[in-house]
Structure 1
């Protein structure tokens, strides 16, 4: 049996992941709205790829709760479901709590500087209501603890649940309420700086359970 070259396998993997990220981001940022039908031919033209990586990406998005796929029928963007987002938020909070608890003993001064800089960028983005920049800065802040935890499974779980949360979180970062995250991040950095793993873990959990007002508003 002929063996595929490693470079070919790597290229195919990158293509599949790039297609998934492009579709995921378009759903999260509202380019594709809830209920919108996703047609293979239109997606092929937009992304410049064949149907296979698109179907693979849509399957992953269905597993993440971002699209609704009906065999033999249409694939549509999933509605924003407060219950599903609340469930995802609970999982993300638990993962970030674990990440902080594991990461604090391994954090370096450089890590703390990176976290502080990301939080400063978050504050600046919120001042000018730049939602995309705010969300990117928030990701950069938390990614430091996730990487430093040394637990790859945390990142895998977060990759699954975070996009669902981000759909609702855009509303938070487009309002004054998002500034609470800046304050909470500073408190997390303070706990990390004095090697208080439990304190940082608890604050990280609380920080990821801040969407309740937005979810309640959607349910009403």
Structure 2
């Protein structure tokens, strides 16, 4: 019985991963219908584990389900993306704090290489999937030892990635590149006090401007929440 349960769990996780990757890399487009017969043919398995995986993906916000009507890839509104990103930014700030405290010097060249890629790449040209920004932040965050915090961040990653794929045209990479130069220094010096101040300035400056331009409303305060009504677009 235990082996059967483990096998079903592994199958569901495999299917979950395959569908999620196809959504995030653009193989499955926002708004595209997810039909059982097509998924069965593609994934080579039965309906039950596919529906279980789709339900999990709906819980993450990357799939929309209406019983007896449709299942489709989610279309992320500007406001949903901005609000998800504000939660993600709050969590990542804490994780980066701890990551900077324990950042190993031999990984500084990795950050420098990723930031150089960011310097020479416009956000509109980012391919679907993790960006150089994600890679840079990930190198720091991996040194945070709080597993609960890391798991919470991962919950928001898929929805955030869908938002980046759709709204990257609004993003300006130059201020991010310049801020990352500062972050590299913070990692080298394990300077969490300077990091906290710099992050506040970055979130309330370039990141706030990005979300305001993207959403068309100005209710965000320091990229930590919404205090006013605005357009859903």
- Under a length normalisation based on structure 2, what TM-score does the superposition of the two structures give? 0.76
**Of residues 49, 55, 61 in structure 2, which corresponds to 1:53?**
49
Of residues 154, 171, 177, the one that matches 1:159 is 154
CA change 1:15–1:139 in 2 (3 A) is farther
Runs of 4+ off more than 6 Å: none
CA shift at 1:174, angstroms?
A: 5.1
C-alpha RMSD of matched pairs (Å) = 3.1
In structure 2, distance between residues paired with 1:22 and 1:174:
27
Q: Are positions 1:115 and 2:111 aligned together?
A: yes
Q: Which moved more, 1:164-173 or 1:192-201?
A: 164-173
Query: Which residue of the other structure, out of 81, 92, 102, is the alignment partner of 2:98?
Result: 102
The change in CA–CA distance for 1:14 and 1:216 in structure 2 (over 3 A counts) is farther
Cα displacement (A) at 1:197? 0.9
Matches within 5 A, 1:138-149: 138-149=133-144
1:66 paired residue number: 62
Deviations 1:79-129 (A, max 9, x none): 222222122111110111101111112111123222222222333444992
> Contact 2:92/2:141 (CA < 8 Å) preserved in 1?
yes
Between 67-76 and 208-217, report the one with greater CA deviation: 208-217
Aligned partner of 2:215 in structure 1 is 215
Find the counterpart in structure 1 of residue 224 from structure 2. Answer: none
The Cα of 1:219 is off from its aligned counterpart by: 4.1
Q: Is the 8 A contact 1:69 1:76 kept in 2?
A: yes
Identify, as 1 or 2, the structure richer in helix.
1
> In the aligned structure 2, how far is the partner of 1:79 from the partner of 1:127?
20
Change (3 A) 1:4 1:99: same
Q: Work out the number of aligned pairs and report it.
A: 215
Larger mean CA deviation between 12-21 and 56-65 belongs to 12-21
CA distance in 2, matches of 1:159, 1:131: 20
C-alpha displacement of 1:209: 3.8
Unaligned stretches of 5+ in structure 1? none
How many Å apart are 1:173 and its aligned residue? Answer: 4.4
TM-score, normalisation: structure 1:
0.80
Residues 179-194 of structure 1 aligned to structure 2 (within 5 Å) = 179-194=174-189
Deviation at 1:171, TM superposition (A): 4.9
Secondary structure at 1:31 match in 2: coil
Q: Structure 2: which 5+ runs fail to align?
A: 218-230
> For residue 92 of structure 1, what is the aligned residue in structure 2?
88
